[in-house]
Amino acid sequence: MSLQTMTYLVVGVTFALYIGIAIWARAGSTSEFYVAGGGVPPVLNGMATGADWMSAASFISMAGLIANMGYGGGLFLMGWTGGYVLLAMLLAPYLRKFGKFTVPQFVGDRYYSKAASCVAVMCLLAASLTYIIGQMTGVGVAFSRFLGVSNSTGVFIGMGIVFMYAVFGGMKGITYTQVAQYCVLILAYTIPAIFISMALTGNPLPQLGLGGDFVGTDMSLLGKLDQVVMDLGFPQYTTMTRISTLNMFVYTMSLMIGTAGLPHVIMRFFTVPSVKAARSSAGWALVFIAILYTTAPAVAAMARLNLHASVNTAVKSGGDLFAESSSIKYDERPDWMKRWEVTGLLKFEDKNGDGRIQYYNDKNAPAGAVAAGWKGSELSVNRDIMVLANPEIAKLPNWVIALVAAGGLAAALSTAAGLLLAISSAISHDLFKNIFMPDMSEKNELMTGKIAMACSIMVAGYLGLNPPDFAAGTVAIAFGLAASSIFPALMMGIFNKKMNKEGAMAGMLAGLGITMLYVFAHKGIFFIKGTSFLGLFGGKANFFLGIEPNAFGAIGALVNFGVAYVVSKVTPECPEHIQHMVENVRTPRGSKEVDGSHAH
Amino acid sequence: MDKSGEAYWKAVLTLIAQVLAVWFFVSFGCGILFADALNSMSIGGYPLGFWFAQQGSMYVFVILIFVYGKLMNNLDVKFDVHEE
């Protein structure tokens, strides 16, 4: 069977499965639309949270970025898993005891103010919309390759499918669908990794294979990779820091606290049956996430080595990288390159006119390259394609390649749907129903939610055509926004019972504001191309202590905490009954009486 | 033994601080700040600092959450605030 037919078949079967489950568990009332009836067991909830969490950024984009960033890519791995420790300890159990549906509801009640709830809606929208832009970028890559169309067409098709998918079912449908999606995406990620690890190191476990020896030599795989990339003028793979140690530290912190502040992930913990289950749900979620995350660095390193090997025959043979015959001829390039050239995400430009592909770091050209008459690196590979192209590069069977396409789509769709749900509930429930139109009917509320979803997809799709960064980079910005605004407000709401509404609101606005300012200065106002205003700050990128915009969320969070503390000291104290409520939230007993899913 | 809400909360905060200390040590410590120094050692073929950044810290995180959950449940029972 041809690869194209096989891909349609596998993607079709998995979609039929998700839609079948969604129909079977079709949501009825509004409360079921947002949170599944409260009775999802921790292991299944953990799996669904895993699918919800692992988006196009984790599945499609992350390993490609790590392949490029080497050791520095570890910030994604530590950041996006370490946040779960914070979530499990600092937020999940208390939010469950509090017993609300959504983040803005928690903020509105804890800070006894509808204005605070409005500010929370704003923070939530900023983070979620940015997140969806990243998803659209990833969906675009997957669809363009899968249908053999340009990247922009891929984004448009993705917008349509995500919309239909998200509007179709609510959280209940999604919880069980997401369990199925988790299974598809984890198989799709690990199977090719096992094949490739086997081929390169003889060890079927990628986590061990990455530390193993390169087949047929007594050199370690990482040692071999270090040597190849350094010979070609790239920085050493295993020690290459992301900009600076400080930047890497702040970036990791930003992703960690962003994880614990993301509305669609937090919403999950309202659906577990008890406080005890909230604690273990976060643990199970991390187990399922870690299966992918510990495989990702192996995928990254092996994909990088395979990419070099596929255009330069001396990588595997150990011969002279700069010998003329080592670079493969463009006319004899492998099929996977031809397929990706169609999408416009992989490009070849014959700079020295010899008809061969030279791929190296021309900004630090090695002496051998200059001597051999290389005139610049001739291959540009979009980092977001690495995971999807990886099984093709490694010449794995067609069914594996098809499975990876299905996994990438599962990852992107499940997260986009979860985020759209968070957005639709924030707008229809927290904004319209609770503040502007208290007597709105349930039917109108659902309709408002769907309109909000449609608008979000269009905005995100439009911005996804010219994304501010690679998929995982854009998602990192979304985490920064959540880190700087939502996380501190939630944490202070639980751990500082004297925190008042003035402090919380000022903190959220200051944290979100300064983070947006820094990000927009680099990436454009609302990520619109050509509107960046770095000139105002001396024109130098990363002007604050050399910290890149994607990492700024941690600084924003510090500002948030600081401003909130100062403002709360000079404004009226938090009312007595709220302080009692916070004390009550801190102990698990009585959680069943405040089960959020029945309080509606 | 003091079974008041304040004593419970103090015990909770102590536990959280202990877990966070380990959390910080493996990721920000071993994975970032001391990574260079640790790279002179190796584990299973990996340079140690690189291993902490791309493997080890994640394993520790998983263990930490379950240990925390267990210890918290014990605290709840000890202070008689557990769910019925």
- Nearest-angstrom CA–CA distance, A271 and A41: 9
CB of A137 within 8 A of CB of A384?
yes
Q: Which of A213, A245, A279 to mutate to test the interface with B (most CBs of B within 10 A)?
A: A279
| Nearest chain A CA: its distance from B12 CA (Å) | 9
Work out the end-to-end distance of chain A between its first and last CA atoms, rounded to an integer number of angstroms: 52
Quick one: A429 exposed, middle or buried, by C-beta within 10 A (0-12, 13-18, 19+)? buried
Judged by CB atoms closer than 8 Å, whether chains meet at B50 and A71 is answered as: yes
Closest partner residue to B54 (CB to CB) among A74, A249, A583 is: A74
CB of A405 within 8 A of CB of A388?
yes
Give the residue ranges of chain B where pLDDT is below 50.
Answer: none
- Six token digits for residue A537: 């700050």
**Residue A597, pLDDT score:** 43
Q: What is the ipTM of this complex?
A: 0.95
Does the CB of A586 have a partner CB in chain B at under 8 Å?
yes
Q: Tens of pLDDT along A378-433?
A: 999 998 898 889 898 888 999 998 999 889 888 887 788 778 888 888 888 888 88
Closest partner residue to B27 (CB to CB) among A82, A221, A276 is: A82
Judged by CB atoms closer than 8 Å, whether chains meet at A82 and B32 is answered as: no
CB of A271 within 8 A of CB of A35?
yes
Tell me the C-alpha to C-alpha distance, in Å, between residue A29 and each of A20, A26, A172, A598.
20, 10, 11, 12
Does the CB of B22 have a partner CB in chain A at under 8 Å?
no
**Residue A173, pLDDT score:** 55
Does the CB of A252 have a partner CB in chain B at under 8 Å?
yes
Judged by CB atoms closer than 8 Å, whether chains meet at B45 and A213 is answered as: yes
The pLDDT averaged over each successive group of 10 residues in chain A (600 residues) is 87 85 62 53 82 86 93 95 92 86 88 93 92 87 84 87 71 70 92 94 94 89 94 94 92 94 81 82 92 96 94 89 92 91 90 93 91 92 89 89 88 80 84 81 84 88 84 91 95 94 96 94 86 83 88 96 96 92 88 52
**Residue A303, pLDDT score:** 94
Q: Which of B6, B19, B55 to mutate to test the interface with A (most CBs of A within 10 A)?
A: B55
Judged by CB atoms closer than 8 Å, whether chains meet at A275 and B83 is answered as: yes
Q: Tens of pLDDT along A212-257?
A: 999 888 889 999 999 999 999 999 999 999 989 999 999 999 999 9
Q: Looking at chain B, which residue has its C-alpha nearest residue A285?
A: B62
Residues of A in contact with B16 (CB under 8 A): 89-90
Does the CB of A73 have a partner CB in chain B at under 8 Å?
yes
Residue A409: partners with Cβ closer than 8 Å, 6 or more residues away: A11, A14, A139, A142, A143, A146
Judged by CB atoms closer than 8 Å, whether chains meet at A287 and B55 is answered as: no
Residues of A in contact with B73 (CB under 8 A): 276, 279
Q: Which of residues 379-438 of A touch B (CB under 8 A)?
A: none
**Residue A152, pLDDT score:** 87
Residues of A in contact with B51 (CB under 8 A): 211
Segments making up each domain of chain A, as ranges: 3-21+32-199+236-289+399-598, 307-391
Judged by CB atoms closer than 8 Å, whether chains meet at B61 and A85 is answered as: yes
Closest partner residue to A85 (CB to CB) among B12, B50, B64 is: B64
**Residue A347, pLDDT score:** 93
Judged by CB atoms closer than 8 Å, whether chains meet at B83 and A589 is answered as: yes
**Residue A63, pLDDT score:** 93
Residues of B in contact with A294 (CB under 8 A): 55, 58-59
Closest partner residue to B44 (CB to CB) among A75, A93, A211 is: A211
**Residue A190, pLDDT score:** 95
Residue A233 φ/ψ, nearest 5 degrees: 95, 5
Cβ–Cβ contacts within 10 Å for residue A88, how many? 28
CB of A136 within 8 A of CB of A314?
no
Judged by CB atoms closer than 8 Å, whether chains meet at B16 and A90 is answered as: yes
Q: Could you say which DSSP state residue B56 is in?
A: I
| Nearest chain A CA: its distance from B65 CA (Å) | 5
Q: Does domain A3-21+32-199+236-289+399-598 have CATH number 1.20.1730.10?
A: yes
**Residue A26, pLDDT score:** 61
Q: How far, in whole angstroms, is CA B67 from its chain's centroid?
A: 8
Residues in chain B: 84
Tell me the C-alpha to C-alpha distance, in Å, between residue B2 and each of A343, A563, B82.
67, 36, 16
Judged by CB atoms closer than 8 Å, whether chains meet at A588 and B64 is answered as: no
